[in-house]
Structure 1
Amino acid sequence: MIRTLVVDDDFHVARAHTRSVEKVPGFTVVGEARSAGEAQQLITQERPDLLLLDMYLPDRTGLDLIRELAAAPGGGVPDFILITAARDIESVRAAIQLGAIYYLVKPFAFAALREQLEAYRQWRQRLSQAREADQETVDTLYSMLHSPATHARQRRKLPATMARVLEVVSGSPEPLSAADVAESLGFSRPTAQRYLGTLVQRGLLDLNLSYGTTGRPEHRFTPHRT
């Protein structure tokens, strides 16, 4: 489970964020903080993986909190999604420089938060499975976080079975063949090939040719790299 700390000075907003996070599979909320100081204490106690972080807090800004965590001796900064009404470009720029996973502008729909959380969950899974940081792996990891909204909108339009095929390929640390997907999901190879071909046409998967000892290319599929 991805341990999440909600940081917002408004009790009702924080509780709404908590309910939203806990609707997304793979996430659990380990606490709610109303200030940067309280957040620091809970981060030390709970060691969350992710912060849902408001910009404007009573004692200092959310970005000030991140700076302090980064500067603390032996301290670590959890991943964070900034949630704020701030629309100035300098705030966006500072959030990006400090490593924000995403920047959600209030008000937003639950679907927007869910898309980012799902993208983050898949990114963590892919990162944990990666064996080395070759260029293809790095490109994939960047694209998983930097274009989730576009891909999520496309995924919502997919039939359930096709979405399962996309999920299997997206979660694999290695390129997969149609035979690999068929075995994983209990399909016939032609059925898996048909779904994979459609996902390539929709720009959600990339097709790569791998040449074996026979000289005949084998089709292997990876998540689309933007």
Structure 2
Amino acid sequence: MIDVLVVDDDYHVAHAHALAIARVEGFRVVGEAHSGGEAERLVVDAAPDLLLLDMYLPDFTGLDLVRRLTAAGRAVPDFLLVTAARDLESVRTSMQLGAFYYLVKPFTFAALREQLEAYRAWTERLQRAPAGQRDVDQEVVDSLYSLRSTPSRTAATVRGLQPTMARVLEIVTAAPRSIGAAEVAERLGASRPTAQRYLATLVRKQLIDLDLSYGSTGRPEHRYVPRRR
């Protein structure tokens, strides 16, 4: 389970974000903060894995919060910046400080969910490293970076697809490993035949790949992975 601290000066917005996060599988909200100082205290008390971090806070900015935690020698959670700030310097600085992504307000639930699912896939890929492994090869590095950039590629790819098919594509793309029709159907909230139909169409469109997996029965299981490049 990924623990999230929501940081936003607007109580109503913070609560709305918390409710949205609770709808995404694998995430739970461990607190809401409405100022930088309150967020700083909750980072220590609640030890969140991820901050849903607003830029503009009443005492100091969200990026200043990251700087303060670093200067104090405290563990800095990963953070997803959500802000109305659209200036290039804010985007550049957030990237330099390690933001996982930068969502410009207002944004849809689908956009937030996409970023959270990409983050979950990224953390799961990190956790699959063998115990005690310290070094990685280029393939692993490329895999980790590709997971972080998945949302941008997905957003470009889904243009022209009807919403349900685009959502199926997002599910396959965000999955940390190959995924079957039953799992897609569960996340989509639809029947397996419906999911299977969309998956088959996406394979025909060459947007995803079919990965045949042979189990103990010797019969192939149809599983799906993002399009190999």
Paired residue for 1:146?
A: 149
Paired residue for 1:201?
A: 206
Percent identity over paired residues: 53
SS at match of 1:30: strand
Unaligned runs of 5+ in 2: 185-195, 212-223
1:201 Cα deviation from its structure 2 partner: 2.3
SS at match of 2:69: helix
1:205 Cα deviation from its structure 2 partner: 5.1
**Partner AA of 2:142 in structure 1:** D
- Give the alignment's TM-score, normalised by structure 2: 0.72
Number of residue equivalences: 196
Counterpart Cα distance in 2 of 1:110 and 1:222: 24
> Contact 2:11–2:34 (CA<8 Å) still a contact in 1?
yes
Q: Give CA deviations for 1:4-62 in whole Å, capped at 9, x if unaligned.
A: 00000100110110011001111100000010100011010000000000001011000
Structure 1 residues 117 and 181: CA distance shift in structure 2, 3 A? closer
Counterpart Cα distance in 2 of 1:160 and 1:88: 30
Larger Cα Rg: Structure 1 or Structure 2?
Answer: 1
1:70 Cα deviation from its structure 2 partner: 1.3
Paired residue for 2:67?
A: 67
SS at match of 1:3: strand
> Contact 1:143–1:225 (CA<8 Å) still a contact in 2?
no
**Partner AA of 1:124 in structure 2:** T
The one of 171, 178, 196 aligned to 2:176: 171
1:222 Cα deviation from its structure 2 partner: 6.6
Unaligned runs of 5+ in 1: 186-190, 208-220
* Larger mean Cα displacement after TM superposition, 39-48 or 64-73: 64-73
- Give the alignment's TM-score, normalised by structure 1: 0.73
Structure 1 residues 150 and 161: CA distance shift in structure 2, 3 A? closer
Q: Give CA deviations for 1:160-219 in whole Å, capped at 9, x if unaligned.
A: 99888x47x9424xxx7xxx979x99xxxxx9xx96x928921x4599xxxxxxxxxxxx
> Contact 1:21–1:28 (CA<8 Å) still a contact in 2?
yes
Q: Give CA deviations for 1:56-78 in whole Å, capped at 9, x if unaligned.
A: 101100000001111213x1110
SS at match of 1:118: helix
Structure 1 residues 61 and 225: CA distance shift in structure 2, 3 A? farther
Stretches of 4+ aligned residues off by more than 3 angstroms: 152-164, 204-207, 221-226
Instruction: Calculate the aligned-residue CA RMSD, in Å.
Output: 3.5
Paired residue for 2:104?
A: 105
User: Any residues of structure 2 matched to 1:80-91 within 5 Å, and which?
Assistant: 80-91=79-90
Paired residue for 2:14?
A: 14
**Counterpart check, 1:46 vs 2:51:** no
**Counterpart check, 1:57 vs 2:57:** yes
